[in-house]
Structure 1
Amino acid sequence: MNQKWFHSWSVVEGNMAIFSKTDLEIVKQLSGAPSLGQETVTQQGKFESFYRDLIVGFGKWEFDPTQVSNPCPENKGNVHIWQGYEDKIIPRKLNQYIVEKLGWIKYHKVPDAGHFFIYNATLYETILRELVNG
């Protein structure tokens, strides 16, 4: 986290190049809005907060995500993944690989959307309707 030989993690540096065009538009819209609870995100300090995120994202997990069993047996529920095709933070191929291995997950492709597409009111409503209607 504090070495200087290699480039730092883009999010830590505030590098906006990690966001898609649609993400940047959403970030501009959200920047003026108050964000409830934002002060608690890094209440233990930025280093500790980002370090924990890195451990979760890149550390060794105690399980293989492709070996998870269906938490909704007998089709009494659904698991969904929505993927923005312009997402530069979560690789599309990663989610596609997981869905391929776990065929019980419903995969939704969201064209012309980035990582923050959930903040688009129309897409949010579409997702909510899908979750409610099954």
Structure 2
Amino acid sequence: MMGESCANPNRVKLRDGRFLAYREGGVPKEEAKFKIILVHAFGSSKYMYFPASKELIEELGVYCIFYDRVGYGESDSNAKHSVKSEVDDMAELADQLEIGPKFYLVGVSLGAYPMWGSLKHIPHRLSGVAFVSPPVNYLWPSLPEKLTKKDYRRRLLKWFLWISKNAPGLIHFWVFENLFLSIKSIYFSRFRKRTTNSPLRPKVCVRQVCENLREDFVTCFGEWGFEPADLSITQESCVHIWQGKQDKLVPVQLQRCIMQEQPFINYHELPQTGHIILNYDGTCDAILRALLLGEEQLLDKPILSDLPCV
């Protein structure tokens, strides 16, 4: 099970002097046929939960790198944090660990926004990319205003971004203690399905958690200078998006709009799942088979013509 911990995690020193912590999983690097960097969500770490079966990992020959994103866990923060800097961190990590000129990426939830940056800035380094419950930035011009204007999530994000920039101390006092726990209770618990394994939950500093939340939101939902519709994604790009139809954090209607702008993205919409789709048995194996082998599992992939944007 790829979500298990390992002792004494390693760190690499980046060009700007920061340290990035990581751990390795799967088969030994020297024996691997596929090499993947997995990018964790908010509130997670290099010990992220990705319960792909050991049998599949060994059958395919998959080597994985899990790392603490900037400011998380044992990785240093970055005063110049941006979508591009997240991409640079992944590319430099790949270089220092000598995994080759090309690799696969899997990004989960808030850890998925750097995937768009990778498709923008280092498409030549990518063998394939899988987005899992990726967030939608309401500033993307191609999103139809009739869907975003009255979306309560957009209003909540605007309020949160204002607090983040003007009164960050309130994040711990109110957002973390009340709003975040309420959202977790309402949106996560309802659609969560238990598996035979439980995710590892290492102890974290509350102050660090709040700072991670602020940095992630400001970066993810701020100005990027590009949007997914601007990217040159072809049939050979091997890009997948996995989305739960019952997701209350990421509007499925807006995710479908992105697909209309990028028809070569392989879109997998799971009808009975919410935001935490990795907790559903078989999903991680299906993600790897689709990304690495181009195989489709019986997970009710929809026909895009049947999924209107509105």
Q: Same fold (TM over 0.5)?
A: yes
State the identity %.
Answer: 27
Q: Superposed, which structure 2 residues align to 1:95-114 within 5 Å?
A: 95-114=255-274
Name 2:80's counterpart in structure 1. none
Opposite residue 14 of structure 1, the aligned amino acid is L
Q: Relative contact order, CA 8 A, sep 6+: which one is greater? A: 1
Name 2:191's counterpart in structure 1. 22
Match of 1:128 among 288, 291, 304: 288
Aligned length: 122
Structure 2 CA distance for partners of 1:105 and 1:20, relative to 1, 3 Å: farther
- Secondary structure of the residue that 2:268 maps to in structure 1? strand
Structure 2 stretches lacking a partner, 5+ long: 1-162, 164-169, 295-310
- The answer to whether the Cα contact below 8 Å between 1:80 and 1:108 also exists between their aligned partners in 2 is yes
Runs of 4+ in 1 over 6 A off after TM superposition: none
Opposite residue 127 of structure 1, the aligned amino acid is I
Name 1:13's counterpart in structure 2. 180
The one-character-per-residue Cα deviations of 1:4-60 (angstroms, maximum 9, x if unpaired) are xxx84798531111226222x34xx69x83526x446x6872331111121123212
Pick the structure with more helix per residue.
1
Partners of 1:86 and 1:57 lie apart in 2 by: 22
Name 1:89's counterpart in structure 2. 249
Name 1:48's counterpart in structure 2. 211
Partners of 1:20 and 1:44 lie apart in 2 by: 24
- The answer to whether the Cα contact below 8 Å between 1:20 and 1:114 also exists between their aligned partners in 2 is no
Q: CA RMSD in A?
A: 3.1
- The answer to whether the Cα contact below 8 Å between 1:11 and 1:18 also exists between their aligned partners in 2 is no
1:98 offset after TM fit, Å? 0.8
- The answer to whether the Cα contact below 8 Å between 2:176 and 2:210 also exists between their aligned partners in 1 is no
Name 2:223's counterpart in structure 1. 60
Pick the structure with more strand per residue.
2
The one-character-per-residue Cα deviations of 1:38-94 (angstroms, maximum 9, x if unpaired) are 446x68723311111211232122212221111xx5x43411111101111111012
TM-score (norm 2): 0.34
Which stretch of the first structure deviates more once superposed, 14-23 or 48-57? 14-23
Structure 2 CA distance for partners of 1:123 and 1:46, relative to 1, 3 Å: closer
Bigger Rg, structure 1 or 2: 2
Opposite residue 200 of structure 2, the aligned amino acid is S
Partners of 1:64 and 1:51 lie apart in 2 by: 21
- The answer to whether the Cα contact below 8 Å between 1:84 and 1:112 also exists between their aligned partners in 2 is yes
Name 2:11's counterpart in structure 1. none
Structure 1 stretches lacking a partner, 5+ long: none
Partners of 2:230 and 2:176 lie apart in 1 by: 29
